[in-house]
Amino acid sequence: MGPSPSEVFRLLLRGVTERRWSELPELYAEDTVVRHPFLRYGGPVLHGREEVRAHFAAAAELPLEMGARDVVIHETTDPEVVIGEFRYVGRFTDTGREFSATNIFVTRVRHGLIVEARDYADHLNFAAAAGRLDELLGEFAPV
């Protein structure tokens, strides 16, 4: 049966904050779908474990230290779905810029694997700390 949805969420959060990038894709089903609704046009949408693997490989390149604070996990009436609320707090090791980014993850877990996730992240604070605010704001320019 595998770990519960709440346990999988905790493993995901621990893996991100401990920079276990190569291990994280194993928490996802082969045919998973991960959305980032707060990015322009809701993208990128990650389809499948290999796209998730590439996403985490890119994250591994970031000069980043972070932890999770104020973690609250809400179990729902759907036994496969949990909602996690938390803040990433950290800093970019190359610049020393600190950040705090609020997040809500809605995660569907089946047989111990994430089959669907919607990651509502505070990309604005993260981009500002990374020195990539212009890049992010360009995403939101009218088309």
The pairing of beta strand 46-47 with beta strand 64-75: unpaired
CA 65 to chain centre: 15
More confident residue, 139 or 4: 4
Q: Are 120 and 37 in contact (CB under 8 A)?
A: yes
When pLDDT is averaged across residues 103-129 and rounded to a whole number, the result is: 91
CATH code, residues 5-138: 3.10.450.50
53-72 pLDDT, tens per residue? 999 998 899 898 999 999 99
Residue 141 reports pLDDT greater than 60: no
Predicted local confidence at residue 121, as pLDDT: 87
Residue 134 CA: distances (Å) to CA of 15, 90, 122: 29, 21, 15
pLDDT over 90 percentage in the chain:
65
Residue 129 has pLDDT above 90, yes or no: no
- Is the full-model pTM beyond 0.85? yes
The yes-or-no verdict on residue 140 having pLDDT over 60 is no
72/90 Cα distance (integer angstroms):
19
Q: Where are the domains positioned within the chain?
A: 5-138
Q: Residues near 6 by Cβ (< 8 Å), separated by ≥ 6?
A: 73, 75, 82
Q: pLDDT class for 41, splitting at 50, 70, 90?
A: low
